[in-house]
């Protein structure tokens, strides 16, 4: 739910870290008052952090936070608020959540001074265009903060399109969500077919889908659903627009291979599935219970949505791949959440210290338990992935992590229009149009639309 009120989260001293229940924003202001200072007793008082580790010299400080929507209420409480209560009891956070009146353009026009922006890397261009966030590079050296704990690719992504600057600290790799082949065990059991195995190629999954697509007592079971033609080609790293030239890049052998695969899957008698958006694709697998396998581009989103559904007997296998690129599922994605510093903040040194603390192993382990993807190198963090999420103890979630990502590819301003052309043209292929002709026509159409868009 959208919230327009500021949320005041005042830290309490000497509280143990507790587990926050999942809640949806209620639009109300929440305040916590600090306890009165206690006199020393038999138990020694808790010592304050060392002088060079203090925030604002240990004096009370209020930092204003903007949440693009990258932290849920539960995540914000458990991963940000509660650790800060324990470590820095002098810090107060005031948070505002993005709504229709608090986009980058509106924030810039209002002159609102914010200290912390919790955004995602895809929005770097928007927030830098309005000069809302700062390069953190000088602050790192000034405060002796190292980036060695992070996986290098996530630092690179956090630089955006300006590779000489760093626009924030990568808290989570939400854009690199593992992809998975999710399957309905009841359908496999009904027809006596073994469950999918890890390491399968798309050709293997296609053959399996043919066996599972059948009409039984008037119920049409479908063997395989996939989200869209773009996700089907992710393992080959296909893109509709070349980011270097900003020209269409669809008249290629790889794209033709992807389109051919999509067509034969659709041509399985009884397996024709109308193209719908991502949410509805997941919904028809979860609610219809007539689809045997779903090639899901977002295991994390699926987990969140399927948890309340108690009568779906599902499990996970590794996402299918192509023989020339085995065990590759999709390109490395963006950073979500990215912790950035407000350009007008008067507390930049304090904020960068907080960012360093919030990306320690201890907090990232908790994040991983909540099904968050860490940006840190420590392999132990991934081992506890989703262990605190109910209903997953018997699921083979680790299968999804057997695939590797292909290198991150920066998007362009024209990807959406190009993807729409490809999706529309693929409908023509499904009806019998020659694939070579289709890719040639699509390339021409995309380039014309890009040229027209650049003139606006």
Residue 380 sits at φ, ψ, to 5 deg, of: -65, -25
Q: What's the whole-number mean pLDDT along residues 407-411? A: 83
Domain limits, the chain: 7-33+49-173+335-359, 180-332+399-455
Q: What is the pLDDT of residue 441?
A: 98
Q: Is the pLDDT of residue 21 over 70?
A: no
Cα 182 to Cα 317: distance, rounded to the nearest angstrom: 6
- The closest of 87, 60, 145, 138 to 353, measured between CA atoms, is 145
| Crossing angle of the two packed helices 435-455 and 415-430, in degrees rounded to 10 | 150
- Mean pLDDT value across the chain: 88
Percent of the chain predicted with pLDDT > 70: 89
Q: Tell me which long-range contacts 421-425 makes (C-beta under 8 A, separation of at least 24).
A: 421/240, 421/445, 421/446, 421/449, 422/229, 422/230, 422/240, 422/250, 422/446, 423/228, 423/229, 423/230, 423/275
Cα 87 to Cα 111: distance, rounded to the nearest angstrom: 31
- The closest of 86, 91, 87, 95 to 116, measured between CA atoms, is 95
Q: Is the pLDDT of residue 33 over 60?
A: no
Half-sphere exposure of residue 99, counting CA atoms within 13 Å on the CB side? 12
Q: What is the pLDDT of residue 52?
A: 59
Q: What's the whole-number mean pLDDT along residues 47-75? A: 85
- The closest of 100, 127, 105 to 116, measured between CA atoms, is 127
Q: Which residue has the tokens 């810090």?
A: 91
**CB-based burial of residue 103 (10 Å sphere; 0-12 exposed, 13-18 middle, 19+ buried)?**
middle
Q: What is the pLDDT of residues 321-360, one digit of tens each?
A: 999 999 999 988 899 999 999 999 999 999 999 999 999 9
**Global pTM?**
0.80
Q: What is the pLDDT of residues 182-210, one digit of tens each?
A: 999 999 999 999 999 999 999 999 999 99
Q: What is the pLDDT of residue 228?
A: 92
Cα 198 to Cα 201: distance, rounded to the nearest angstrom: 9
Choose the weakest-confidence range: 45-54, 159-168, 425-434.
45-54
- In the beta sheet, which residues pair with residue 63? 93
What's the CATH class of domain 7-33+49-173+335-359?
alpha beta
Q: What is the pLDDT of residues 260-281, one digit of tens each?
A: 999 999 999 999 988 888 889 9
Q: Is the pLDDT of residue 319 over 80?
A: yes
**CB 325, CB 235: distance < 8 Å:** yes
Q: Is the pLDDT of residue 444 over 50?
A: yes
Q: What's the whole-number mean pLDDT along residues 406-435? A: 93
Q: What is the pLDDT of residue 410?
A: 79
Q: What's the whole-number mean pLDDT along residues 443-454? A: 97
| Topology (CATH) of 180-332+399-455 | D-Maltodextrin-Binding Protein; domain 2 (3.40.190)
Q: What is the pLDDT of residue 27?
A: 35
Q: What is the pLDDT of residue 217?
A: 95
| Crossing angle of the two packed helices 435-455 and 253-266, in degrees rounded to 10 | 120
Q: What is the pLDDT of residue 384?
A: 95
pLDDT top residue among 115 and 9: 115
Q: What is the pLDDT of residue 274?
A: 85
Q: What's the whole-number mean pLDDT along residues 313-325? A: 97
Q: What's the whole-number mean pLDDT along residues 107-114? A: 92
Helix spans in 61-123 (H): 73-75, 82-87, 104-110
Choose the weakest-confidence range: 31-45, 259-273, 288-302, 425-439.
31-45
Is residue 232 within a helix (H) or strand (E), and if so which, with residue range? helix 229-232
Q: Is the pLDDT of residue 46 over 80?
A: no
Q: What is the DSSP string of 131-196?
A: T-EE--HHHHHHTT---TTB-HHHHHHTTTT-TT----EE-BBGGGPPPEEEEEHHHHHHTT-PPP
Token pair for residue 97? Answer: 């959540």
Q: What is the pLDDT of residue 163?
A: 82
Q: Is the pLDDT of residue 8 over 90?
A: no
| 3-class SS shares of the chain: helix, strand, coil, % to 5 | 40, 15, 45
Count of CB atoms situated within 10 Å of the CB of 59: 8
Token pair for residue 86? Answer: 């324990």
pLDDT top residue among 52 and 34: 52
Cα 79 to Cα 11: distance, rounded to the nearest angstrom: 14
- The closest of 101, 93, 90, 78 to 2, measured between CA atoms, is 101
């Amino acid at each position: 739910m959208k919230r327009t009120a500021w949320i005041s989260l005042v830290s309490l001293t000497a509280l143990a870290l507790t587990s926050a229940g999942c809640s949806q924003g209620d639009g109300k202001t929440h305040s916590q008052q600090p306890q009165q200072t206690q006199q020393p007793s038999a138990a020694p008082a808790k010592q304050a952090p060392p002088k060079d580790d203090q925030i604002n010299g240990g004096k009370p400080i209020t930092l204003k936070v903007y949440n693009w929507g990258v932290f849920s209420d539960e995540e914000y409480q458990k991963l940000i608020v509660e650790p800060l209560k324990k470590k820095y009891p002098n810090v107060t956070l005031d948070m505002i959540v993005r709504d229709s009146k608090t986009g980058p353009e509106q924030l810039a026009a209002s002159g609102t001074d914010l200290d912390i922006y919790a955004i995602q890397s895809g929005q770097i261009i928007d927030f830098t265009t309005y000069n809302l966030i700062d390069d953190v590079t000088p602050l790192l050296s000034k405060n002796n903060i190292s980036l060695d704990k992070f996986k290098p690719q996530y630092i690179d992504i956090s630089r955006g399109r300006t590779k000489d600057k760093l626009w924030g600290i990568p808290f989570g790799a939400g854009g690199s969500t593992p992809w998975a082949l999710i399957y309905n065990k009841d359908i496999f059991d009904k027809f006596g077919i073994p469950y999918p195995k890890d390491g399968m190629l798309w050709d293997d999954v296609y053959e399996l889908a043919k066996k599972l697509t059948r009409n039984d007592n008037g119920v049409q079971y479908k063997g395989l659903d996939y989200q869209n033609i773009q996700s089907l080609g992710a393992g080959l790293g296909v893109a509709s627009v070349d980011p270097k030239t900003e020209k269409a890049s669809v008249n290629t052998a790889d794209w033709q291979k992807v389109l051919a695969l999509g067509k034969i899957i659709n041509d399985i008698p009884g397996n024709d599935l109308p193209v719908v958006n991502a949410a509805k694709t997941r919904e028809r697998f979860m609610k219809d219970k007539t689809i045997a396998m779903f090639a899901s581009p977002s295991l994390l989103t699926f987990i969140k949505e399927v948890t309340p559904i108690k009568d779906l007997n599902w499990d996970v296998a590794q996402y299918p791949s192509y023989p020339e690129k085995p065990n590759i599922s999709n390109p490395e994605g963006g950073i979500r959440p990215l912790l950035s510093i407000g350009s007008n903040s008067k507390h930049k040194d304090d904020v960068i210290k907080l960012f360093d603390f919030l990306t320690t192993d201890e907090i990232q382990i908790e994040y991983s338990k909540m099904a968050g993807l860490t940006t840190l190198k420590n392999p132990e963090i991934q081992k506890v992935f989703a262990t605190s999420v109910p209903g997953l103890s018997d699921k083979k979630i680790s299968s999804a992590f057997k695939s590797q990502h292909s290198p991150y590819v920066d998007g362009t301003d024209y990807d959406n229009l190009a993807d729409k052309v490809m999706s529309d043209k693929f409908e023509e292929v499904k009806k019998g149009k020659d694939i070579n002709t289709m890719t040639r026509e699509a390339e021409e159409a995309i380039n014309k639309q890009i040229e027209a868009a650049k003139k606006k």
